[in-house]
Structure formats: C-alpha cells, structure tokens
Structure 1
Amino acid sequence: MIDKIAWLHVVDGRILSTRSRGKDVYYLPGGKREPGESDVETLVREIREELDVEIAVESITPAGTFEAQAHGHAAGTRVRMTCYTAEYRGTLEASSEIEEAAWLEYADRGRVSAVDKLIFDHLHDTGQLT
C-alpha cells in the first residue's frame, strides 16, 4: 500500500492538479510521508516543495480518504490518498519537480490517475467540481 497525502483545492468548480516531470497523468498536489511525519507535516512540506506556497495550518480540514490501483505500478499495488482542504499564503508556482500545474474540470477526469478519478467523481457528485 502506498500511503499519500493530498491537497484538494477547488475554486469555481475546478481543482488544482499537477503533472510531474516525465509523467503522463495529473495528480492532486501532495505526496508520501517521510518517516515520523504527521499528515499535517506531510501536507505542508509537500505543497511547499511542489507549489511554493505555505499551507495555513489552522485551516486544514479532512476531506476524505480514497483508495485505488496505483498508477504506473504492478497490478495489485494500491494507493491510499488521504485528502485535506486548506487555505494557503503566497503565489502558486510549479516547482522544479513539477512540469505543470493546471486547473482541471470534471471533463478532464480521463487525464488523472485512478485514485484521482475517484476523488473527481466524489467532488462532482457533491457539486464541487463542474
């Protein structure tokens, strides 16, 4: 099981997604926890590394956990994505490890990983993603 933390940042019916260098699909910003890190510490570190902004820790809110086949891994390798919403300070800017940051709509569902598709479905079903 791959354990990841993700930031759900939805604005005007679109969700912020990122595509890492050399990857063919978009992922929600976030990543794997380092040894001893809490979810909050992982979220803050990963978003700073990927998008050069500071998550407002006091605003972090749980948004659900989703599980699916891990993209690009052997069959049977699962990923569990624990998602949070949060406000941020700074200007969103893709870091050196991120090829592109994009605002995606539900119609872009085919461009994301399997676990992100589940998240897109949830956000669409609850009226957050257009």
Structure 2
Amino acid sequence: MTATIDKIAWIHLDSGKILSTRSQGKDVYYIPGGKREEGETDLDTLIREIDEELAIAIVPDTATHVGTFRAQAHGHAAGVTVQMTCYTADHRGEPTPSSEIAELVWLTYADRDQVSPVDQVIFDHLHQAGQLH
C-alpha cells in the first residue's frame, strides 16, 4: 500500500533549539502541526493546527515556507509516507500544551533519535543550515 499523509508544520527555533511536542500516548516527538482538512490552504491548516495544539495565534503575513520534506510515516505500514510542508511564522501568545498534546519540549540536534522519521529529515536540513545546534 502506498499513501501519502499531507501535513503542515510550524518550525519555531530559539537559540539553536526547536519547539517540539509529544502527543498523548506517543513515544516520539513531533514538530507542531497536523493534517490538512478538505479545502484548506497551507496557511489555513497552519493557523488552525497551531491554535489547537499550542493555544497561540500565528501571524499570517509572517509565514515563510522553509521546505517540504518526505519520509516513512511513523507508526504506519511500510509504504505510507508523510509529506511535511514546513513554515516559520511569528506568533502571539505563549505556547501551552493543548488538545492532544501531552508535553512541549525544546530539542537540539542531539535529540534527533527521539523524533519521527520525517522530523529527522527536517532536523538534518536545519542542522546543515546552521539553525539547529
């Protein structure tokens, strides 16, 4: 079976660390974001998902595309990939675990083995760009 899960993610870096989340019942960290709903643009998905997960407001006109990354989907059958379209953006409010989020953490490149496969690809990209230490 081949399928692609279409996700949008928010890259929030501070002092060489990246904000990541762990959902209830999961054993790896994920960059905040989620699946697009029918009819949503990337920006619509980004704003909705980040509000749902972190209870903060993305500032729409500051959203900047970082890249689109693909890898095997964590916890899915072989051949199921995730496509993660990533953006940076300014925000209003203090990130707070909300909805299905159990924990917020700041990770470095040394924590790469604790994130999902697609996030590992993103960690590599950010590390090579000198943004993730």
Q: Indicate the TM-score class for this superposition, using the shorter chain for normalisation.
A: over 0.9
Aligned to 1:12: 15
**Counterpart amino acid of residue 78 in structure 1:** T
Gaps of 5+ in 2: none
Aligned to 2:120: 117
**Counterpart amino acid of residue 117 in structure 1:** Q
In the aligned structure 2, how far is the partner of 1:116 from the partner of 1:92? 20
Aligned to 1:74: 77
SS class of match (1:49):
helix
Q: Provide the aligned length of Structure 1 versus Structure 2.
A: 130
In the aligned structure 2, how far is the partner of 1:129 from the partner of 1:113? 16
**Counterpart amino acid of residue 21 in structure 2:** T
Aligned to 2:130: 127
In the TM superposition, residue 91 of structure 1 has moved relative to its aligned partner by: 1.2
The CA RMSD measured in Å over matched residues stands at: 0.5
1:26 aligned to which of 21, 24, 29: 29
TM-score (norm: length of structure 2): 0.97
**Counterpart amino acid of residue 84 in structure 2:** M
**Counterpart amino acid of residue 110 in structure 2:** A
Determine whether 1:37 maps to 2:40: yes
Aligned to 1:103: 106
- Moved runs in structure 1, 4+ residues, more than 6 A? none
SS class of match (1:84):
strand
In the aligned structure 2, how far is the partner of 1:96 from the partner of 1:115? 22
SS class of match (2:51):
helix
